[in-house]
Structure 1
Amino acid sequence: MVSKGEQQQGRTGKRRLIVHVGVQKTGSTSIQRHLGRNAKALSDRLVVRTPDEGTPMRPLGRAAVNFSLRSESGDAEAALKIALDDVLDTLPANDLPVLLSHENLAGAMPGNGGETRLYPALPQIVSLIRGHAKDFDTDFVYYSRRMNAWKSSVWAQAVRTDGYTRREEEFMLETAELPGWGDLHRRLVEAVGGKRVTRFKLEDEPEAERPGRQLLLHAGLSDAEIDALQPLEGPSMSRLNDASTEFLRHLNSLNINPHARGKVADLVVRTQSLFNADHRPEGTL
């Protein structure tokens, strides 16, 4: 655990940098929406950076995924460092702790780009971030989720966003040998040290309307301060219904322009009811 004094400033006396690396499908989007909704209330306690459209956090996430798929490439490593610098350059010149939150900092999830392992490049990514952000005292946070439920959600997301073409049963067979979260934690600790890695369980979050309580407590807020934040209204990045997911899975098998595929996927997300077997257009019986 991080002591009260270390919550404001790192163990080394440097400015504290908390890097929330996701992972995908563990509530990151809800956490980021909650942070964004309460940006003003948090601004005197915490500097927050999330992957909002048009911000340097978007390229940082893409660079981390690309690095995870091409970790042997010097170009991919250089691009990740440049993207990190672009984010750090936006930080205000004060002593407030900084929270970077992006699920893609974990790298490619299973089903993306042919990846079937449990974030093999994440230890390299956190080591690179810590070594490159020399002016900060950096620690890393990730959320986990019960493995079977997580893999099912990852499959649906891979179909939705990453062009994955195989059925859920096939995906489960591909990932049957994935180790548990304990293996990932061990590798992260070996990379940056035990005091710099914290795992939170999604199932331990007490309120869906105020997601990320464990993360905010880790960043130095009190329970009372978190309780005073505005709650969310409605879920984030809900899983598509089964028929919509199946339609996209078949779409992914077609040789069509990726931009066109993305347009169709957006339409499917907005009109899921059309893919229900009992859908009746307005005005029909």
Structure 2
Amino acid sequence: MVTALPGRRLILHVGVQKTGTTSLQRFLKLRAAELSDQVIVRTPEEGTPMRPLGRAAIAASLSDDKDHRQALRVAFEDVLDTVPDGPQTVILSHENLAGAMPGNGGETRLYPALPRIVKILRKCAQAYGFSGEVVLYTRQMLSWRPSVWAQAVRTDGYADTFQTFMDRTAGLPEWEDLVDRLRAALGSDVVTRLRLEDETDLGRPGRQLLLHAGIPAARIDALAPLDGAAMERLNGGSTEFLRQLNGLALNPHARDRVADLVARAQYLFTADAPSEGTL
């Protein structure tokens, strides 16, 4: 068990989904060594305890029972055990810590379980001697909901049409509702809301998060930028193909394999012929 310095900062970046998290995590991962004197970074890389932590958070958001809460604690402790001793601020970034997004597992509300999830995680972090702060990004609701629908189709097996999804989520409140619920559960000084629209340097995603973690602006600006966006939205034809595929009784593993193939060959699902060299 890692024993942190008294009050050592630990920032839980909980996403939420479709607010640039994949690009942010890619940037953090690539620049982690350069920043390691000031921050320790953990992102959901394959084969690390961050992956099961994300799965445990989703499961706990869809079923609030003792077993799921305990599984979440154990998964989080496994992550904390990987954090080395030192004075550095720790950033744990995983969008699934927010719980199921609308369209996943029948969820249609705005992260109702997030306050409960982060209360569990923060209590666990404090037992290790960390502070346990919470940071979330938000995105304008008018653009966020369509992006969430496309993501739910791509990754969560969502089979309903865009209009059905928009109708079912028409009553979602604005982000202030979620932020207020988090602050009521944890305290106003514990929760920080960042807006995706304020990320002005697309090559250095997560700049606001790094500033919040104490990295000087000049040092962030000196980091080499990313060379492209990550997890871009599929084109319309690809999304519609997957939506209809989601309505079939396929083995989930087989369905995911097909989704990967579709993402790599989107030109097959457009009316335009592929350009030379894409085959």
Q: TM-score, normalised by structure 1?
A: 0.93
Paired AA for residue 93 in structure 1: D
Paired AA for residue 196 in structure 1: V
Write out aligned runs for 1:75-154 (5 A).
75-134=67-126, 135-154=129-148
Q: Decide whether the 8 Å contact of 1:37 with 1:230 is kept in 2.
A: no
Select the residue among 22, 47, 53 that pairs with 2:15. 22
Inter-CA distance 281–189: structure 2 relative to 1 (3 Å threshold): closer
Q: What is the Cα deviation at residue 281 of structure 1?
A: 8.5
Moved over 6 A (4+): none
Q: Decide whether the 8 Å contact of 1:21 with 1:102 is kept in 2.
A: yes
Q: What is the Cα deviation at residue 279 of structure 1?
A: 2.4
* Matching residue of 1:60: 53
Instruction: Classify the secondary structure of the residue corresponding to 1:108.
Output: coil
Q: Decide whether the 8 Å contact of 1:205 with 1:212 is kept in 2.
A: yes
In structure 2, the gaps of 5 or more residues are: none
Instruction: Classify the secondary structure of the residue corresponding to 1:137.
Output: coil
Paired AA for residue 147 in structure 2: S
C-alpha root-mean-square deviation of aligned residues, in Å?
1.5
Inter-CA distance 279–77: structure 2 relative to 1 (3 Å threshold): same
In structure 1, the gaps of 5 or more residues are: 1-9
Q: What is the Cα deviation at residue 94 of structure 1?
A: 1.1
* Matching residue of 2:167: 173
* Matching residue of 1:36: 29
Distance 1:237 1:264 in 2: 16
Paired AA for residue 227 in structure 1: D
Q: Decide whether the 8 Å contact of 2:137 with 2:196 is kept in 1.
A: yes
Percent identity between the aligned chains?
Answer: 61
Cα deviation, 1:237-281, whole Å, max 9, x if unaligned, reads 000000000000000001111111111111000000011112259
Instruction: Classify the secondary structure of the residue corresponding to 1:231.
Output: coil
1:219 paired to 2:213:
yes
Write out aligned runs for 1:151-162 (5 A).
151-162=145-156
Distance 2:87 2:207 in 1: 22
Cα deviation, 1:98-135, whole Å, max 9, x if unaligned, reads 00000000000000000000000000011111111121
Q: Decide whether the 8 Å contact of 1:23 with 1:144 is kept in 2.
A: yes
Instruction: Classify the secondary structure of the residue corresponding to 2:189.
Output: helix
Select the residue among 41, 53, 66 that pairs with 1:48. 41
Q: Decide whether the 8 Å contact of 2:99 with 2:114 is kept in 1.
A: yes
Paired AA for residue 94 in structure 1: G
Paired AA for residue 18 in structure 1: I
Q: TM-score, normalised by structure 2?
A: 0.95
